[in-house]
Amino acid sequence: MLLSRLARVSQEVAATSARSRKIALLAGLFREAEADDVPIVIPYLAGRLPQGRIGVGWKVLSRPVAPAAEASLTVRQVDALLTTLGKVSGPGSQAERARLVGELLGASTEDEQRFLFGLLTGEVRQGALDAVAVEGLAEATGAPSADVRRAVMLAGSLQSVAGALLSDGPGALERFRLTVGRPVLPMLAHSASSVAEAVEKLGACAVEEKLDGIRVQVHRDGDTVRVHTRTLDDITGRLPEVTSAARELPGERFILDGEVISFDDDGRPRSFQETAGRVGSRVDVAAAAREVPVSPVFFDVLSVGGRDLLDLPFSGRHAELARLVPEPMRVRRAVVSGPGDLGAAEEFLAETLKRGHEGVVVKGLDAPYSAGRRGASWLKVKPVHTLDLVVLAAEWGHGRRTGKLSNLHLGARTADGGFAMLGKTFKGMTDTMLAWQTERLRELAVEESGYVVTVRPELVVEIAYDGLQRSTRYPAGVTLRFARVIRYREDKRPEEADSVESLLAAHPEVRP
Ligand SMILES: Nc1ncnc2c1ncn2[C@@H]1O[C@H](COP(=O)(O)OP(=O)(O)OP(=O)(O)O)[C@@H](O)[C@H]1O
């Protein structure tokens, strides 16, 4: 497929607000695409680079290059060139990058240059595009859109489903069934501001402790056990405790969902940093496991004995879980009949906090498991409220922080797929964090002006704050009070950051 075709459709999709028109435009594009184009076309449309980072800064991009008169570049040629670009390193790499970018832009028409510029600087990001692309695929291939959605949910990747559908037709969806050994994206939660609000919304529900560890999905097939993170990385080798616990359960084939966490000798949870450090260590796992042992604590089951349980109501899945996993290895919970029983829910939250956990997750008893979604039926309640925001820029520090990128400009997602800055912070960072962020942000830099370095909006950071206040200086009309960094969330994509809309919904006091 020619880049010019993709660039035109991308522009048309951005220009129309009608969802049906967007779907029709994408369906048209998919009908023309070859299966090999798909892994490039879909991320480009959403404004993502399949290569992740390629280390091209604003300086290189902003050098004017005379455009080509006629479109000839294919998306696969562009992708190959960007892959080469991403691999350039060592002495002379700046000049080599500039040469390759010059080559790319010189072969592009003016429209294509504009598209590439947006793509490389992160400006054409379109957050909601993947959902529209699912509908477009269904329309282009004649597959029912609910089936495409379920396949994407289970595959955890729109690209792979699209590639299979476009080369083999609707029958290819069969390949994306829930299978032991093949991880699926986990179900996620929304926030509620209180247990009362959550119980009011959900009615009969289970109130579960929220453990601040690392999410794991454990697959066992006979003697084979695999452990995956929420981003589907395979971390089996790092967690011998989890594999041996899974082998001792009275089932041969299952998929369990839970959290691994490290407890101290008194049974209180150790800090997230300790658990994360342990789970992150790949060398000398045995020594790390002696120093910081972790335990799996399960809260859901997706499959058992070859039966797919995703569509069972949570109460049914939990009954299966209780048959498979002994109580000490399951999260503690209280079942609550509805708002009339709020006292029991509040008591459980208070007890959970006293035991050192960060809050609770309130779960509707009737809801199926929605893999890869923030289901409306899981609501987390944490007394210390935090936000996941995207770093838009950073300022060079001074004094002790000279040479470090320090003050972060923080953005929340906006309805149009962009980000609105909510404020800045340089608080809460450890020295390690400062060094790490300086390096990462320099790689993401697109423009440097004075002491402010603007970056591709890719890094997600968890921020604690004491509230919102109105402000005319910021585009959303509000700013954060006493924002401070808690940790970077490398497991989250910017599309998963908090939005201005949800923030304002949680703070009625600042609404005009
Ligand atoms: N009982 C539980 N049920 C579901 N998730 C739990 C539970 N205990 C801990 N968790 C963790 O909480 C996360 C759910 O919160 P969410 O989906 O919003 O992700 P998150 O943004 O990482 O949450 P947070 O930043 O609040 O930890 C899960 O991914 C899981 O790792």
Residue 451 region by backbone torsions, left for phi larger than 0, else alpha for psi between -120 and 50, else beta: alpha
Q: Is the pLDDT of residue 259 over 80?
A: yes
Please pick, among 87, 201, 210, 363, the residue that the annotation labels catalytic: 210
pLDDT at 284 over 80: yes
Query: Where does the pLDDT of residue 122 fall: very low under 50, low under 70, confident under 90, or very high at 90 and above?
Result: confident
- Residue 383's pLDDT band, with cuts at 50, 70 and 90, is confident
User: How does the average pLDDT of the chain come out, rounded?
Assistant: 92
In angstroms, how far is CA 351 from the centroid of its own chain?
Answer: 31
Active site residue 22: no
Q: How far is CA 164 from CA 28, 129, 139, 464, in A?
A: 17, 19, 15, 43
pLDDT higher than threshold 70 for residue 128: no
State the virtual CA torsion across 202, 215, 444, 158 in degrees, nearest 10.
Answer: -70
Topology of domain 188-381, per CATH? D-amino Acid Aminotransferase; Chain A, domain 1 (3.30.470)
Nearest atom of ligand 1 to the alpha carbon of 190: 18
Rounded percentage of the chain residues whose pLDDT exceeds 90: 73
Which pLDDT belongs to residue 507? 85
Confidence of residue 124 (pLDDT cuts 50, 70, 90): low
Q: 171 pLDDT band (50/70/90 cuts)? A: very high
Ligand 1, atom 12: closest residue by C-alpha: 210
Ligand 1, residues at Cβ distance < 6 Å: 188-189, 208, 210-211, 215, 230, 259, 299, 331, 361, 380, 388
Which of 86-100, 122-136, 292-306 shows the lowest mean pLDDT across its residues?
122-136
The SS3 of residue 361 is: strand
Residue 512: pLDDT band (50, 70, 90) is low
Lookup: tokens for 258? 């839970």
pLDDT for the residue numbered 49: 87
Nearest CA to ligand 1 atom 18: 189
Query: What are the boundaries of each domain within the chain?
Result: 3-174, 188-381, 386-510
Question: Higher pLDDT residue, 190 or 256?
Answer: 256
* Cα 190 to averaged position of ligand 1 atoms, centre (Å): 9
pLDDT recorded at residue 202: 97
Question: What's the CA-to-centroid distance between 363 and ligand 1, angstroms?
Answer: 12
Distances (CA, A) of 77 to 33, 73, 103, 104, 195: 14, 6, 12, 9, 53
The protein residue with its alpha carbon nearest to ligand 1, atom 4, reads 361
In this structure, of 56-70, 223-237, 301-315, 444-458, the range with the lowest mean pLDDT score is 56-70
> Is 230 a known ligand-binding residue?
yes
Checking if the pLDDT of 24 tops 90, the result is: yes
- CA torsion sign for 486, 492, 495, 501 is negative
- At 47-102, the pLDDT tens digits run 888 887 777 777 777 788 899 999 999 999 999 999 998 888 888 888 898 899 99
User: For domain 3-174, is the CATH number 1.10.3660.10?
Assistant: no
Which residues lie across from 393 on neighbouring strands?
409, 454
Residues 468, 281: Cα–Cα separation, whole Å: 38
32 is in an annotated binding site: no
The answer to whether residue 127 scores a pLDDT higher than 80 is: no
Query: Is 63 annotated as belonging to a binding site?
Result: no
**Which residue out of 259, 279, 314 has the highest number of ligand 1 atoms within 8 Å of its CB and is therefore the one to mutate?**
259
State the pLDDT confidence band at 275, using cuts at 50, 70 and 90. Answer: very high
* Most distant pair of Cα atoms in the chain: their distance: 72
Q: Give the residue whose CA is nearest to atom 3 of ligand 1.
A: 361
Determine contact, residues 255/217, Cβ cutoff 8 Å: yes
Which atom of ligand 1 is found nearest the CA of 208? Answer: 1
Strand partners, 330: 298
Phi-psi region of 28 (alpha: psi -120 to 50; beta: other; left: phi over 0): alpha
To test the ligand 1 pocket, which listed residue (195, 205, 210, 386) has its Cβ within 8 A of the most ligand atoms? 210
User: Which residues have a Cβ under 8 Å from the Cβ of 310 and sit 6 or more positions away?
Assistant: 178, 302, 303, 368, 369, 371
Mean pLDDT across 264-269: 94
Asked if pLDDT for residue 305 goes beyond 90, the answer is: yes
| Tens digit of each residue's pLDDT (9 = 90 or more) over 395-434 | 999 999 999 999 999 999 998 889 999 999 999 998 989 9
As assigned by CATH, the class of the 386-510 domain is mainly beta
In ligand 1, the atom with minimum distance to the C-alpha of 210 is 8
Residues 6+ apart with CB under 8 A from 479: 422, 423, 468, 469, 470, 471, 473
> Is 374 assigned a ligand-binding role in the annotation?
yes
Task: Please give the distance, rounded to the nearest whole angstrom, from the Cα atom of residue 467 to the centre of ligand 1.
Answer: 22
Instruction: Give the mean pLDDT of 468-474.
Output: 94
Q: What are phi and psi of 347, to 5 degrees?
A: -65, -40
pLDDT of residue 126: 67
> Which atom of ligand 1 is nearest the CA belonging to 215?
31
Q: Does residue 208 have a known ligand-binding role?
A: yes
- Tokens at residue 146, please? 């609910």
The residue ranges of DSSP E strands in 365-416, in sequence order, are 374-381, 386-396, 405-413
Name the residue at shortest CA distance from atom 31 of ligand 1. 215
The reply, when asked if residue 259 is annotated as ligand binding, is yes
pLDDT in tens, 150-168: 898 888 788 889 999 999 9
pLDDT value for 135:
95
pLDDT at 374: 81
* Helix-helix angle 129-141:158-168, to 10 degrees: 10
Which pair of tokens denotes residue 68? Answer: 């080509």
Which pLDDT belongs to residue 234?
Answer: 96
